[in-house]
Amino acid sequence: MKEILLVKYGEIILKGGNRSRFEKMLIENMSKALKNVAETRITVTQATVYVEVLDEDRIDIVLERLTKVFGIVTIVKACVCEKNIEAIENAAKEYLKGDLISGKRFKVEAKRSDKAFPLNSIEIAMEVGGFLDDNFEGLKVDVHNPEVTVKVEVRDSFAYIYCRENRVKGQGGMPQGTGGRATLLLSGGIDSPVAGHMMAKRGTVIEAVNFFSYPYTSERAKEKVIELASILAQYTSCVKLHIVPFTEIQLAIRDNCPEQHMTLLMRRFMMKIAEIIAEKNGSQALITGESAGQVASQTLAALAVTNAVVKMPVLRPLIGMDKTEIIERAEKIGTFETSILPYEDCCTVFTPKNPTTQPVISKIEKSEAHLDFDGLTKKAVEGTETLLIYPKK
């Protein structure tokens, strides 16, 4: 019995005259995600994407991979059969026998997009429901509160049968590439990978910048960030990761500036360097994992000081979230266990005992004047290492 994957999308339906462009991008992303997974044939008709897996033994692997593609709301395995009521009834009986267990409450819902089919949707549901009731002992019809909902879709070429309760939830959001390009300041912590995932879910192509302070941070810390980028790449197919040498800047700040200003001065360097790299790579915005008030550098006054050093928009998708909410998202997307590995990133070295929480920008700029800001920035950008990070197979 032939199986196929039926993929449903959500917001794309609302795109009006632009809908075909979004559908095309979704199919391209699906094909890219499945490139090294299985050979497939993908088509889209009437708000449904049909994924035929040519090696049916790999259909579950394909389904799991598609759950990480942005733009997909649900996926379900369905049986394909000929468009006549006898074939539909027999296919439903055989394909769903594991779901139609004695004592289960069930109903049938039908959708007929082929108006030439001799039965309408209500008649199809009644015919198939009666047939299943006759062939499975102990089933109970319950149209209001069923445990099993048999779905029958009669389309242009074939009919498709599946159990609604077997649908698998996708990522939702918009297809990657439909929302521009942005550069994520990716640390080794919990927050920034979640921020990157959230913006990628809105269709944004994500690049990442990491600041590496060798020997104060180890190679294991660098490997940790690469691993986080690899997890994000499961959702985006690839992440371009820029690793910036940051030791010289931190030492210059430590030796020449007031200790209480150190964190904010580092943040201003990071933002400026990230903006330069972003502009070179065609990004339209920066993304950070900052949450209002979470640490000293994330008070509203401190965020204003770090914003002032760049002209590019700064997106902060976590700004109103608390730590518990962020951790829940990190666990859900698979980054949490890597983020809590005990390898320090550059933000945890040279940490002042009493950082300023209500900074005045004129005082920060006065401290900054003791540094060769442009020269240090230029040298860090020139020393940047760029890697293309793909998901692990």
Yes or no: say if 264 and 290 are a contact pair by the CB < 8 Å rule: no
Q: What is the pLDDT of residue 393?
A: 63
pLDDT band for position 351 (cuts 50, 70, 90)? confident
Mean pLDDT of 84-91: 96
pLDDT band for position 346 (cuts 50, 70, 90)? low
Yes or no: say if 200 and 236 are a contact pair by the CB < 8 Å rule: yes
Mean pLDDT of 43-52: 91
What percentage of residues in the chain have a pLDDT greater than 90? 84
Whether omega before 258 lies within 30 degrees of 0, making that bond cis, reads no
Yes or no: say if 258 and 269 are a contact pair by the CB < 8 Å rule: no
Cross-strand pairs, 110:
152
Is residue 348 predicted with pLDDT exceeding 70? no
Mean pLDDT of 294-320: 93
- The one-letter amino acid code at 364 reads I
pLDDT band for position 347 (cuts 50, 70, 90)? low
Phi and psi torsions of 254, nearest 5°: -60, -40
Cα–Cα distance, 328 to 335 (Å, whole number): 10
Is residue 352 predicted with pLDDT exceeding 80? no
- The one-letter amino acid code at 149 reads T
Lowest mean pLDDT across 17-26, 178-187, 205-214, 354-363: 354-363
Cα–Cα distance, 143 to 70 (Å, whole number): 33
Q: What is the pLDDT of residue 392?
A: 76
Mean pLDDT of 86-95: 96
Is residue 64 predicted with pLDDT exceeding 80? yes
Residue 345: other Cβ atoms inside 10 A = 22
In DSSP notation, 67-114 reads TTSTTEEEEEEEEEE-SSHHHHHHHHHHHTTTT--TT-EEEEEEEE--
What percentage of residues in the chain have a pLDDT greater than 70? 98
Residues 6+ apart with CB under 8 A from 312: 275, 278, 279, 283, 284, 285, 286
Q: What is the pLDDT of residue 349?
A: 67
**Global pTM value:** 0.91
Q: What is the pLDDT of residue 166?
A: 96
Enumerate the H helices of the chain as residue ranges.
19-33, 59-66, 85-95, 121-135, 191-201, 219-236, 247-256, 262-280, 300-307, 323-333, 336-339, 361-368, 373-382
Calculated CA dihedral for residues 216, 219, 225, 229, nearest 10 degrees: 150
Residue 192: other Cβ atoms inside 10 A = 26
* 124-139 per-position pLDDT tens digit: 999 999 999 999 999 9
Is residue 233 predicted with pLDDT exceeding 90? yes
